[in-house]
Structure 1
């Protein structure tokens, strides 16, 4: 990779593009901007195509073929998650039923609702969600720990709301993670009404716009060892959650937040013992 300044923009000259539903065109453009490549250098030296062809791809006028897409992945030195993201964007979007339809299917299934109640009795926060992270049904402990979420039912929108400021201990990290997740999820389901709703609500949000423009990172899922640290809104005590998501069907996921003792609680028990 060359370091010749003629082939790179200075950081201050890069375009801070507003949040948009990911497409193959605007994502290739964002990655090139983030890498600092000029269009001439990227097209001619890295991809061996004309500048106008790359411009047409970035503006959504052309869809790169499979071979060219792999050349973009190689030439821009993308990691496996960004490579997966571009491959998903090149093919047709995955269809998704409206949230209301999915919610009726979940709430009308007594087995699923009984499972939520069982998890509640075990002290676990649980919710059935659609792939764009809209809550379809949840148990009482989940509802108790997420004040304000019921207003939109959208976890991404709730994450950037004022409701999470007193709750999330490491809020900047969680918002950056949420943004990377939103990028992956909405790219896959880019034609769904849920995706349009996310960008309708979050597009004007200053905090989301700033986080969106920081990088082009994409994440799929969450390692259960990546704990979420919070303050419980009812007890006011620190709590740590392990987050897991499992697929119940193509359109319904089960989100579980398993609380673990805070360091203060563990120390207190050791002292009592």
Structure 2
């Protein structure tokens, strides 16, 4: 049976639009929630997020395109957005997800299980989920064994410069440290969480080797040589690892999937 076009109000190509921050906030504000079964008025949303009514109006009218992390986090909480919607909100505002969203990935049972399944499936190769600031979200047992202390320490740079084991297992520690500092400098140029960045730099600034390498002003984007050499801390056996990195598609905020392929 053929249906007339007007039976379901079919959209034409001209009527389809890419998602916008204004449309998303308006739609989610009108949606029923646990606390607001009838949705919220603009005034209620402004009061609940501690923003001015005028600013909420600007967001919904498309005049405020890049709200900061504070207002985005507040909007996400008041509108009761789930993890995917929260990340979408940040992306519509041309921002990266806030640290609270990364914690949701790190501690959410379903998201954590999905990440863990992927990482364990890659055994015996090294695998870890790492966020854009180089914080380790999760890793498999091969990664933890090859890079002892890194998962517990959390941040790649902090581990490299404060954990003595990093100089034991990284055969070319100086090269890898210089590369990592250069990549972190590139990340720092657009890091959304400036307070956390400055805190880490103050901490690492107490390490002479970090101060020396940071002072070089070196900037790096990616690796030119995908292979690096590790030493097994128990057997002293030296082996090569070939690095592959991908954008992960597991639930939660964007992060990198680091894979260290072992040689034959």
TM-score bracket for this pair, using the shorter chain length: 0.5 to 0.7
Find the counterpart in structure 1 of residue 156 from structure 2.
Answer: 155
Find the counterpart in structure 1 of residue 235 from structure 2.
Answer: 235
Residues 70-128 of structure 1, C-alpha deviation per residue, up to 9 Å, x if partnerless? Answer: xxxxxxxxxxxxxxxxxxxxxx99434224233124863433221111102xx110011
Structure 1: gaps spanning 5 or more residues:
1-91, 262-273
Find the counterpart in structure 1 of residue 116 from structure 2.
Answer: 113
* Counterpart among 172, 175, 181 of residue 174 in structure 2: 172
Q: CA 1:213–1:140 in 2, change beyond 3 Å: closer, same or farther?
A: same
Find the counterpart in structure 1 of residue 127 from structure 2.
Answer: 126
**Tell me, what secondary structure is at the counterpart of 2:170?**
coil
Residues 3-23 of structure 1, C-alpha deviation per residue, up to 9 Å, x if partnerless? Answer: xxxxxxxxxxxxxxxxxxxxx
Q: Which has the larger radius of gyration?
A: 2
Aligned counterparts of 1:143 and 1:163: Cα–Cα separation in 2: 12
Aligned counterparts of 1:245 and 1:227: Cα–Cα separation in 2: 12
Q: Say if 1:93 and 1:190, in contact at 8 Å, map to a contact too.
A: no
Q: CA deviation at 1:241?
A: 0.9
Aligned residues: CA RMSD: 2.4
Find the counterpart in structure 1 of residue 55 from structure 2.
Answer: none
> Number of aligned pairs?
166
Q: Say if 2:105 and 2:112, in contact at 8 Å, map to a contact too.
A: no
Find the counterpart in structure 1 of residue 145 from structure 2.
Answer: 144
Aligned counterparts of 1:127 and 1:189: Cα–Cα separation in 2: 21
Q: TM-score, normalised by structure 2?
A: 0.57
Answering whether residue 202 of structure 2 is matched by residue 195 of structure 1, we say no
Find the counterpart in structure 2 of residue 251 from structure 1.
Answer: 254
Structure 2: gaps spanning 5 or more residues:
1-92
**Tell me, what secondary structure is at the counterpart of 2:189?**
helix
Q: Say if 2:226 and 2:244, in contact at 8 Å, map to a contact too.
A: no
**Tell me, what secondary structure is at the counterpart of 1:210?**
helix
* Counterpart among 102, 107, 121 of residue 104 in structure 1: 107
Aligned counterparts of 2:108 and 2:173: Cα–Cα separation in 1: 33
Aligned counterparts of 2:245 and 2:196: Cα–Cα separation in 1: 19
Find the counterpart in structure 1 of residue 209 from structure 2.
Answer: 207
Aligned counterparts of 1:113 and 1:183: Cα–Cα separation in 2: 29
Q: CA 1:252–1:239 in 2, change beyond 3 Å: closer, same or farther?
A: same
Q: Say if 2:128 and 2:140, in contact at 8 Å, map to a contact too.
A: yes
Q: TM-score, normalised by structure 1?
A: 0.55
> 4+ runs of 1 displaced by more than 6 Å?
none
Q: CA 1:197–1:232 in 2, change beyond 3 Å: closer, same or farther?
A: farther
Q: CA deviation at 1:210?
A: 0.6
**Tell me, what secondary structure is at the counterpart of 2:222?**
coil
